[in-house]
Chains A and B, each alone.
Chain A
Amino acid sequence: MKKTAADLEQIRKETLKNVELRTGKDGYKIIVGMATCGIAAGARDVFKEAIEKVIEKDLDSVTVGQMGCIGLCSMEPIVEVISPSGEKTRYIKVNKEKIDNIITSHIIDGNVVSEYTSES
């Protein structure tokens, strides 16, 4: 059976619910793709860097979580940032340096790093 976009979104939400690290309700969420394609491309190190930066900078309301494959395997590691108001930004081919910049610019200063997004 073919799944609709709404179905997929629901599945993703359920996965997310299970892996949230912290209970920051009103903060940004950082979601790292951790399926085979993501892991092979370096998602483990990106995830770890995200956690360490969040702890180091005392970003108490920020949640770091993981998600499965979203079908864009050649663009992994993929990181999605969800703003407190629910706006989603998708970053592609993320590495340690990019996640550092995303945390400083987007999460702390509120400026999307558009050169890392899938639209640019």
Chain B
Amino acid sequence: MREIALHILDIFYNSLQADSSLIKISIAVDTKKDLMEIKIIDNGKGMKKEFVNNVLDPFTTTRSTRNVGLGLSLFKASTNRCEGDLTIWSKEKVGTIVKAWYKYSHIDRQPLGNMRDTVYIMILTLGENNLIYSIKKDDESFVLDTRKIREEMGDGSPLTSPEIMGEIKMLLEEEEKKINIS
């Protein structure tokens, strides 16, 4: 993938596909530690122990249209090229945590890429489910919680109405100006 943001979008769809009602995505850069860490946490159906142990093997997939699953193993491979790694914790009926990290200054690291469009599209495809997106670089941080947005609207209208999406886009643009992650 050309951008880390595309891996994140892809892993987000694993969570959505696993019937999660709440998905938390966090990106954190610590320049002192020279570390970039990404977490995708969901409360979906989770995986059996034996399955988790093999899930980073591309031949482990529950998809029926082809017999290789690519998402997780591709993401892991990209971290491994940059002195990083990817780990998965999962428990049936509880949920799943995917944690990936990179050496921030590594020359082979893909750019984070366009998180603005990525989060925008996540929100458009969330349905009734919720997303907490947080991004942090050293002391600067930003959080977007769709549960709060729904609460503020108060009338149960969908997040996908053009007016609300317009506001969400503005928020994400402001965040991007403030927190500069390459």
The answer to whether A binds B is: yes
Interfacial residues, chain A to chain B (CB-CB below 8 A): 3, 7-8, 11, 15, 18-22, 34-37, 39-40, 44-45, 47-48, 51, 55, 64-66, 68-71, 73
Interfacial residues, chain B to chain A (CB-CB below 8 A): 1, 6, 9-10, 13, 16-17, 63-66, 69-71, 74, 114, 117-118, 120-121, 124-125, 127, 160, 162
**B9 and A39 within 8 A (CB):** yes
**A21 and B124 within 8 A (CB):** yes
A39-B10, A44-B114 provided; 17 other pairs, C-beta below 8 A?
A18-B127, A20-B127, A21-B124, A21-B125, A21-B160, A35-B63, A36-B10, A36-B74, A37-B70, A39-B1, A39-B6, A40-B6, A44-B121, A48-B120, A48-B121, A69-B65, A71-B66
- The prevalent SS among residues of B at the interface is helix
**A36 and B160 within 8 A (CB):** no
A11–B64 Cα distance when bound, in Å, is 10
Contact of A73 among B16, B64, B66, B120 (CB under 8 A): B66
Contact of A44 among B6, B71, B127 (CB under 8 A): B6
A71–B66 Cα distance when bound, in Å, is 6
Q: In this complex, what residue of A is CB-closest to B124?
A: A21
A73–B69 Cα distance when bound, in Å, is 12
**B64 and A44 within 8 A (CB):** no
A29 vs chain B, min Cβ distance (A): 14
Q: In this complex, what residue of A is CB-closest to B8?
A: A39
Contact of A68 among B65, B118, B124 (CB under 8 A): B65
Contact partners of A64 in chain B: CB under 8 A: 124
- The prevalent SS among residues of A at the interface is helix
Contact of B160 among A11, A22, A47, A70 (CB under 8 A): A22
B130 vs chain A, min Cβ distance (A): 14
**B64 and A36 within 8 A (CB):** no
Contact partners of A8 in chain B: CB under 8 A: 64-65
Contact partners of B9 in chain A: CB under 8 A: 34, 39, 44
Contact partners of B162 in chain A: CB under 8 A: 55
A72 vs chain B, min Cβ distance (A): 9
A76 vs chain B, min Cβ distance (A): 12
Contact partners of A55 in chain B: CB under 8 A: 162
Contact partners of A65 in chain B: CB under 8 A: 125
**A48 and B117 within 8 A (CB):** yes
A49 vs chain B, min Cβ distance (A): 10
A52–B160 Cα distance when bound, in Å, is 12
What are 8 sample pairs from A and B whose C-beta atoms fall under 8 A apart?
A20-B127, A35-B71, A36-B69, A44-B6, A44-B118, A48-B120, A68-B17, A73-B66
Q: In this complex, what residue of A is CB-closest to B116?
A: A48
Contact partners of A71 in chain B: CB under 8 A: 65-66
